[in-house]
Structure 1
């Protein structure tokens, strides 16, 4: 958890300033800086399958630590950037570390925690990350308030040091005996990405997450434009709503998740999607309200519903997916699942802006319909998922060693015995 705080605080210091930083140090136009940043992020996204392979081959901890160190090196090189090509190179290096983080951290949590502890640890990770992002943003604001050009350099070097510190902290964490074999184990026969594609229940989880991932993006993409242009509300309201969401996630994610572990994960995730649908319906209704107190109250109520849906869905969905992925190929499974987040995140600015231009109300209703489909699909998919993935308190299947070299964690049938003899070769005596 301390590693997550250090990581998120460093990220929070730089994320709001990334565009301004490279504009400041390179004197390139903002549009060109944005294009270069997008190109590097898209190219880094192509390495997503490689991250899954590395996790399965060397273990999640090694990939997590390696990603931290890649980003630390990249941030150390930021002060040396003096043009577009150098900027693209360091951004690509940092992007590779960014892409490896989600599947690596979820796989690592799956290795060091089981059952309800996994839900709680993932909730803590989300909570502390939101808190760290907020603290980092405040620290960066304080440094920039000094009015010195060196403040930018101080920020990127502090962020680099934060990533090194997080890597050292994660490196000290031991993994359980079941996960220890992941590091340095030989490739499992038949464990390529075709294995993931043949896992239809898991691919169902991945597909059902796509509409919800688009829903998550409205807070940063659609809502600011909708509130200021369509509802003619104050620009300052956008910052207040974002702060309310961030603070609530930081304070409430752990207790909400601890409450939800007594229920099926699939039902909690579906309920979160339904609450998302209600919040989107609420935002759609705001278009018919008059500008005034009623509108402001409605905005806060709809944002509160959105935050409640995020609290119910976020950590529980992560635990459900991590538990549903087979241990021998968890890295590949998590890398594929991560695409259900990465693709909507990349497409959301263009898709949601286009829908907002065509019809603001139609955009909200379409988002509500999408997450409703996800909720219904999750309930229908439940019987096909492993019992220990659906119920946090269900025992995980026992790991068994196969003398013939079967994948770790697979079921090995008991040796059969001829009639009248036990498996150990001794004759059974009837009394």
Structure 2
């Protein structure tokens, strides 16, 4: 008998492998098979991605009403349907409709999966499950990327089509694994449902402050994908091949270390460990500033890897711990709505980061790193200030084991 936790991990891994296969070729797929210019493909994909912001609050309502598992599984089916439409796309309008389906499923996933973890795991088990999720997701994304690279080496349109169809099948398989996990959610009778909808969330000032405090950190997370490749190649003069190596350092580090690091962190207050992670992010950003001012040659290469390792350490400290903190801080009756609002602190920076960080980098590379460092340092301080106002069960994952700190 496969346990619920193993089924959850299998679902997350299969999901990540499907995403890892498709994400690296998302722009190239439509350009290669429809002949549309890359610029047009990019605009259509961005327009479709905006729907993720719309599906986010809808997902929150659905989670509270029907349960997180239902929304997670439904989102998988929606994304699979979108991928199965991709081979039939031959012009902009069908492409937008197919991309929009996938975006709707993507947008519903973060608040739904966080709510689901909160339903099936309590206390430090929640931290450990989120850590295992992050670890396996990184491993799955990497494996999917390798499979896609091997398939594309064949150099045929059929390889693109196979990757898309297999990605859709992966989402169906993930839905199968997650859908069999018992859920503790009980449908609330209509007469007993929480009135006021999202007004309940906006009255929760502590949770809103926690959400706002995450915005600078979310921008910090985007550095690896947006700013760092441009900075090290154009500002520091490093080889473009180094970009992939640094990405591997980060993803492999998370895959290998997230679980043991999080197990160690469950002894301490989540707020303080998340704040420590943000502080390490800040130090890594300042390290990149120093590299641009003082380093050359071998020292520069060593410094780039050291700063990237610091960034990875910040992610290890912050990622799973902050997710468990937020899931535990959300009131159970409106957890879906609360987490969908919190997810906006990720969705908006992800949408704005390419334009904003590129503009800052063009204006001043040093200025960009200093602003990011100051922002995440502010997030760390805000986390510490919010600690007394947060529920004790959110701050401490082990209420029965209070360590001296």
After TM superposition, the score normalised by the length of structure 2 is 0.95
Deviations 1:114-146 (A, max 9, x none): 000000000111111100000000001111112
Shift of 1:185: 6.4
Contact preservation (8 Å) 1:191, 1:329: no
Give the SS at the match of 1:46.
helix
**1:187/1:125 Cα in 2 relative to 1: closer, same or farther (>3 Å)?**
farther
Counterpart of 1:66 (choices 74, 95, 103) is 74
Contact 2:51 2:107 in 1 (8 A): no
- 2:329 aligned partner: 324
Shift of 1:47: 2.1
Q: Does 1:369 align with 2:374?
A: yes
Aligned partner of 2:211 among 203, 206, 209: 206
**Is 1:244 aligned to residue 249 of structure 2?**
yes
User: 289-298 or 301-310: which moved more?
Assistant: 289-298
Structure 2 partner of 1:109: 117
Structure 1 contact 126–315 (Cα < 8 Å) conserved:
yes
Kept after mapping to 2: 8 A contact 1:59/1:184: no
- 1:180 Cα offset (Å): 2.5
Find out whether 1:224 has 2:232 as its counterpart. no
Superposed CA offset, 1:284-309 (max 9, x none): 11111343100000000100000000
Q: Contact 2:194/2:333 (CA < 8 Å) preserved in 1? A: no
Question: Higher Cα Rg: structure 1 or 2?
Answer: 1
Give the superposition deviation at 1:191.
Answer: 4.5
The counterpart of 1:281, out of the listed 281, 286, 298, is 286
Q: Which runs of 5+ in 2 are unaligned?
A: 1-8, 401-405
The alpha-carbon deviation at position 184 of structure 1 amounts to 7.0
Number of residue pairs matched? 392
> Is the counterpart of residue 192 in structure 1 residue 192 in structure 2?
no
Q: Secondary structure at the match of 1:192?
A: coil
Pick one of 81, 85, 89 that aligns with 2:93.
85
State whether residues 57 and 186 of structure 1, in contact with CA within 8 Å, keep that contact through their aligned partners in structure 2: no
- Going from structure 1 to structure 2, the CA distance change for 1:144 and 1:2 (only over 3 Å counts) comes to same
Deviation of the 1:26 alpha carbon: 1.2
Per-residue deviation, 1:186: 5.8
* Counterpart in the other structure of 1:41: 49
Query: Matched residues in 2 for 1:73 and 1:186: separation?
Result: 35
Structure 1 residue runs without a partner (length 5+): 396-431
User: Given the alignment of the two structures, is residue 5 of structure 1 paired with residue 10 of structure 2, yes or no?
Assistant: no
**In structure 2, how many angstroms separate the alpha carbons of the residues matched to 1:183 and 1:19?**
42
1:295 is matched with 300
Three-state SS of the structure 2 residue aligned to 1:154 is: helix
Q: Whole-Å Cα distance in 2 between the matches of residues 267 and 290 of structure 1?
A: 33
Q: How large is the RMSD of aligned CA atoms in angstroms?
A: 1.1
CA distance in 2, matches of 1:225, 1:182: 49
Counterpart Cα distance in 1 of 2:190 and 2:171:
27
1:380 and 2:385 are equivalent in the alignment: yes
Select between 286-295 and 354-363 the one with higher mean Cα deviation. 286-295
* Contact 1:59-1:183 at 8 Å conserved across structures: no
